[in-house]
Structure 1
Amino acid sequence: MKLSRELADFEDRLGHQFKTPDLLVRALTHSSISSKTRPDNQRLEFLGDRVLGLVMAEALFEADRQASEGQLAPRFNALVRKEACAEVARQIDIGVVLKLGRSEMMSGGRRKEALLADAMEAVIAAVYQDAGFEAAKVVVKTLWGDRVERVDEDSRDSKTALQEWAQARGQKPPTYTEIARSGPDHAPIFTIEVMLSSGETATAEAPSKRQAEQTAAKDLLSTLETSK
């Protein structure tokens, strides 16, 4: 099978040339367009999640040989969670080459975080099946880049940290309020405001309430720590 120019360009962005191109096509095929002759990427997604997990666990283990399991676990979760996978997927424009059914395309599927993350995991599995674990490890470590080195910042649960900050000062837990929602129903943007009982506030926008709350909490913490 000869890949289209579009998929060949994607191989360049991915950093892997497939000996079995069908694997790449399958990894990019969403269930909305699958059939008996065109399998979707769900099984590959399952495998890719495990391959990614092993690569990241090994990378973290090697990067900090003094870290305890309790320190490694949140770092690991930050590197393999859906948000991280979707971020990497956007970095290499997976959305452009996703194979979607018409309804999924019309509802903004190429931008949906869950679809992008699932496809990223499936592509990792496709590389693994095409060329083995070492090849998959090279691709993952290259794409994830310096995220392993800066993972402490990413693994910090900002909502928990802000609540601890407030409680340590005798305050009530922070409150989170959705103050705006924009964009179409299939791709909404939420604006969340976080407020402390002492009056400090911060707002943030994101495609999900959870992400907006985390970002707002992070921004408020940054402001509070800067003003010490």
Structure 2
Amino acid sequence: MSALPPETRAWLEQSGFTVRDEALWAEALTHGSTGETKDYQRLEFLGDRVLGLSIAHWLYEISASAEGKLAQRLNALVSKRTCAGRAREIKAPDHVRMGKQAREDGAQDSENVLGDIMESLLGANFLEAGFEETQALIRELWQGVVGGSTGRQKHPKSALQEWAAGNQRRPPLYEVTGTSGPDHNRRFTVQVSVHNVGAVEATASGKREAETEAARLFMEKYG
């Protein structure tokens, strides 16, 4: 009996993945809300490392930038937001396996979930096809964002930190002011404030992402 629906196997192959062990790919697409014994988390752990090394190697080849600039671009290019964008681009949300309640709660389009799914698919491909083929696939899937502006601008938190120092202000203070949503689709609200200047709040699917967005909005308002 096939572990994957025929349309999911066809989608994976059309997207450039090497599918041999269907059970592995079913695991890569399985969210914890299904209650099954295996979900995508272990493969996501592996795929995250494969992606990081592949993008770092790529940036080293194409850029003569100093380490700090390379690290800035690397962090942006392997972020959950970028991974989720790649997952949406190849229409991964249509094939994620998850429980009815999680789907109704919007987890199918969650940035955290889709980012993890993208990494788990890369982890599965690494096991099936090896590093070189997976690296080539990453270069195909990430070509648009590596060639674009992602990560080229200074990170909003770094920009705010430097702005505060340059204006003789205390360092920015980040505080989680609220959380909402179920565990699998948690939303964080973070406030960033600079003493005697002001405060701004932002909400996102992760604490780090909310901090980044709050810093960006602060700089738009006060910078």
Q: Same fold (TM over 0.5)?
A: yes
Change (3 A) 1:27 1:72: same
The question of whether the paired residues in 1 share the 8 Å contact of 2:44 and 2:116 is answered with yes
* Matched residue, 2:52: 53
1:11 correspondence with 2:9:
no
1:42 correspondence with 2:41:
yes
* Matched residue, 1:22: 23
Residues 112-149 of structure 1, C-alpha deviation per residue, up to 9 Å, x if partnerless?
33332222111112222333323212221222223224
The question of whether the paired residues in 2 share the 8 Å contact of 1:44 and 1:122 is answered with yes
- Which of 210, 213, 216 is the matching residue for 1:215? 213
The question of whether the paired residues in 1 share the 8 Å contact of 2:3 and 2:26 is answered with no
Change (3 A) 1:3 1:52: same
Change (3 A) 1:24 1:204: same
The question of whether the paired residues in 2 share the 8 Å contact of 1:191 and 1:204 is answered with yes
- Which of 118, 121, 134 is the matching residue for 2:119? 121
Alignment of 1:1-228 (within 5 A): 1=2, 3-8=4-9, 10-11=11-12, 14-16=15-17, 18-31=19-32, 32-35=34-37, 39-64=38-63, 66-102=64-100, 104-105=102-103, 107-149=105-147, 150-153=149-152, 156-174=154-172, 184-185=181-182, 187=185, 194=192, 196-197=194-195, 199=197, 204-221=202-219
Q: What is the TM-score normalised by the length of structure 1?
A: 0.74
The question of whether the paired residues in 2 share the 8 Å contact of 1:13 and 1:92 is answered with no
The question of whether the paired residues in 1 share the 8 Å contact of 2:28 and 2:43 is answered with yes
Residues 144-192 of structure 1, C-alpha deviation per residue, up to 9 Å, x if partnerless?
22322434336x33123212212211223345577887x7445465565
Residues in 2 aligned to 1:180 and 1:43: alpha-carbon distance in whole angstroms:
29
Amino acid across the alignment from 2:43: L
Residues 21-42 of structure 1, C-alpha deviation per residue, up to 9 Å, x if partnerless?
333222112344323xxx4333
SS at match of 2:17: coil
Q: State the Cα distance separating 1:9 from its structure 2 match.
A: 5.3
Percent identical: 35
Residues in 2 aligned to 1:188 and 1:128: alpha-carbon distance in whole angstroms:
30
Residues in 2 aligned to 1:51 and 1:188: alpha-carbon distance in whole angstroms:
26
Deviates more, 1:192-201 or 1:39-48: 192-201
Q: How many residue pairs align between the two structures? A: 219
Unmatched runs of 5 consecutive residues or more in structure 2: none
Q: State the Cα distance separating 1:198 from its structure 2 match.
A: 6.0
Q: State the Cα distance separating 1:78 from its structure 2 match.
A: 2.4
Residues in 1 aligned to 2:89 and 2:219: alpha-carbon distance in whole angstroms:
28
The question of whether the paired residues in 1 share the 8 Å contact of 2:30 and 2:97 is answered with yes
Amino acid across the alignment from 2:60: F
The question of whether the paired residues in 2 share the 8 Å contact of 1:14 and 1:139 is answered with no
